[in-house]
Structure 1
Amino acid sequence: MSVLRCLLFLPTLLFLGSCAKDDEPVPAPVYLLDQRWVLTELEGQSPTSQSSSAIPDLVLNSVGSTNNGRAFCNQYGGKYTLAPGSPQLGFSIQASTYATCAGQDAETRYLTLLPTVARYVISNRHLSLYDAQHAEPLLVFKAE
C-alpha cells in the first residue's frame, strides 16, 4: 500500500514543482546587455552612406539601466527600460556632446529614432530595433 501511495504522490510533486510563478522577473538575455553593438542600418540604409564620420555604436549597461555610445559625431547616453520576459525595449531622450561634423544630419536622425524604439529582436548576432508602427526595423546593429 505504501508503494502505491508513493507512486501516486510522486507525479503530484513533479507537477507542482514544475509550476513557475508568473510574477518572477525573467532576466534580459545576457548577450543584449554589456555588449557593444555597432550600427549596420539606419532606416534600411548603410550608415556609411549617411556620413563619412564615425559609425555609431550602442551599449546597454546591465547596472543602472543606462545606455551609452558614440553617434556619428558625439558621445551620447541615456536610460533604457526593458520589460522582463518580453521583447519590449525603450530609450529615454539621449544627451550628447555638441561637436559638429559632416554627419550631423544623420546623427540627429539616429538620436531622434532611439526614443521611438518599442521592441527588439536579436538574431544571428544582429540587434534590430523597431518602433510600434512599422514592421521594418528602424536601426540594426551587429555585435562586436
Structure 2
Amino acid sequence: MKTPRRLSVAFFALLLPASLLLGSCAKDDEPVPAPLYLLDQSWQLIEAEGKPVAVTAGGAATSLTLSSIDNLSAGQAWCNQYGGTFMLVPGTSYLTFSGQASTRATCAEQPQETRYLNLLPQVRRYTISQRQLQLFDSEHPLPLLVFEVK
C-alpha cells in the first residue's frame, strides 16, 4: 500500500513545478502595449481645467507628444518648448509625468503656461475617446487637460 502513496507524492512533486512554469506563460500575464494612437502622436491642448484653450496670437498651439522609444514627453506650450519623462503601466490607464523642464522665454500667456506645466505632474490616468486624449488626476471626475489629435 505504500507504493501508491509514494507515487502520488512524487507525481505532485513533479506536477506543481510544471504547472507553475506553464502558468507563467499564460497570455493574461503578458504585458499589453499602450494604444498606438497614444504614443508618437502630436496632441493639441483644447481644454485646461474645464476651460477652452485658444491658440496664441502668434499662432502657436500648446502641444504634447509622448515618445514610444524613450518615454520622453515633449511639446510646445504658449511661450516655450518643454519636455520631461512619462510613465505608463501597460494594460491600465495609469499615466504619470515628471516635472517638465522648459525654455525661458516670456510672453503674455506665461501664467497659463506655468499652470499647464504644473498640471502635468498631477496626472494619474488617461482616456482616449473620439480622437481626444483626456488626462485626469487621482481626485476629480473631470479631466485636468483635454487634447485632440493635431
TM-score normalised over the length of structure 1: 0.83
How many residue pairs were aligned? 126
Matching residue of 2:44: 38
Question: For residues 4-57 of structure 1, what are the alpha-carbon distances to aligned partners after superposition, in whole Å with 9 as ceiling and x for unaligned?
Answer: xxxxxxxxxxxx9xx8344311000000000000001011111129x6463210
Unaligned 5+ runs, structure 1: 1-15
Aligned counterparts, 1:1-144, within 5 A = 20-48=26-54, 52=57, 54-144=60-150
User: What is the alpha-carbon distance in structure 2 between the residues aligned to residue 60 and residue 122 of structure 1?
Assistant: 14
Q: Distance in 2 between matches of 1:135 and 1:72?
A: 26
Structure 2 CA distance, aligned partners of 1:52 and 1:135? 32
Structure of greater Rg: 2
> Percentage identity across aligned positions?
57
TM-score (norm 2): 0.79
